[in-house]
Chains A and B, each alone.
Chain A
Amino acid sequence: SAHGHKGRHYNRSKPQRTVQDALRAVEAAADNPGISKEGCKKHELYVSFRDLGWQDWIIAPEGYAAYYCEGECAFPLNSYMNATNHAIVQTLVHFINPDTVPKPCCAPTQLHGISVLYFDDSSNVILKKYRNMVVRACGCH
């Protein structure tokens, strides 16, 4: 916080202890990689307009590779997970208070668009650009 200097000086020793606790918990988690789930990464998902039975109104494309992000954002947040600095802080705070503060979220960090060509009810044709439809990269936020 940019404000609240009083609060920062007040009870100064307590946060230091809790951060130390968090770091110990981080070390413990890092020492037990076997129990950790799969890390945050991009998974394949192809949306097929043909398989959805929409060929009578969607002219193009036949479908598109959408992808999605899934996996755990837990320490060690290595470069593969493309974690932000905020994600690292979020993980620390989660260790301090795991019941109320969630872990960082595995979510898209890069998104791209597609365009879809389709008929409307009046047989007019619409070409629409949809932004942020395709996951390019995932990361921990």
Chain B
Amino acid sequence: SINLHSALEYDPSYKLIQLTPELLDIIRDPEHNDQLRFKSLDKDKSEVVLCSHNKTWVLKQRKHSNTVLLMKEFVPAQPISFDETQLFGLSKPYMDILGFAKTESEFETRETEGQLDLNAVPIYNGELDFYKRATKGPSARVFATLEELLENSPCSALEGISKWHKIGGSVKDGVLCILSQDFLFKALHVVLMSAMAESLDLQHLQVADTYQAVRKDTEDEFNPYTREIIRTVLNKFAVQEQSSEESTWRLRIPFIAQWYGIQALRKYASGTNMPIDEFLIKWKSLFPPFFPCDIDIDMLRGFHYKPTDKTIRYVSKSTLPMDPKERFKVLFRLQSQWDLEDIMPLIEELNTRGMKIDSFIMKYARRKRLGKKVVVTSR
């Protein structure tokens, strides 16, 4: 038998943290040391998260009503002796353990999407007095580096970097910022024009060469396109190749084409219905001359509707109702019959319960097969 002992008081600094198979693997491996960190935005209001280099878990505390004792084997300073008739048939003691902690709760770890905390990251729209405005006032809080932002965000490093690239994060005058959509699009256009003018390899772009190309084409005085801005454009609109020693980027041509398409929709098909043929020409006209890409109206799914068979009109998801029933209602008012693929990007974000998309749609609309296509109409 084992002798069980207890101290008078238990040490509350011991906690039980749930280890998913992934967490267990990381914690076991000396190669991955220093990878797991607890992080929080502040000490008393925000949630605590646990981050590896590429994943984030949120902590949840669950109290329970049982007594849980954490006990450790020890060698008694003096041999423990007592009248063994007390054992009532249990075998003689061969070991002693001491309760060193009593845990009344467990901390569960739930995988979550890491987020960047952008409260201290201003938007840069190419304005000349950006630094002054960003650092104005005693409580103006800014970051100088991406590392600082990642340290102060409830996310892992890789998640944070990926999101940073996606939102067009950059640095201007030593201040971390996000490029406005307008400025980002202008910068993209300038980069494409300059890169093509200098015959740079669009599959292997480098920051230095691209920067030089842009400088050539732009007057110094009004050139806001620093190396950092160029890098931001590449990170958003190109894929960084891992293989090369020097970092190179490969342009994401379809993604860029889509961006130009959205701009074209906003510019030419916003308050008015435009014939699709005419729209395609307008779209193509926005690209730098000879820009090597094909366009197709299907690339703009999620950003337009077809009021009639041959016309197109811009729609912004952010202006649509968040309630699924209402959203479907509005969409059917705009267009009475939708191809499944066309309506899908406009409603899938509302499927928060993770239902099969078909089942979700059938809750609010009617689904019909028309030859090879599937169409959706109101109930």
Question: Is the A/B pair a real complex?
Answer: no
* Chain B residues proximal to chain A, CB less than 8 Å: none
* Chain A residues proximal to chain B, CB less than 8 Å: none
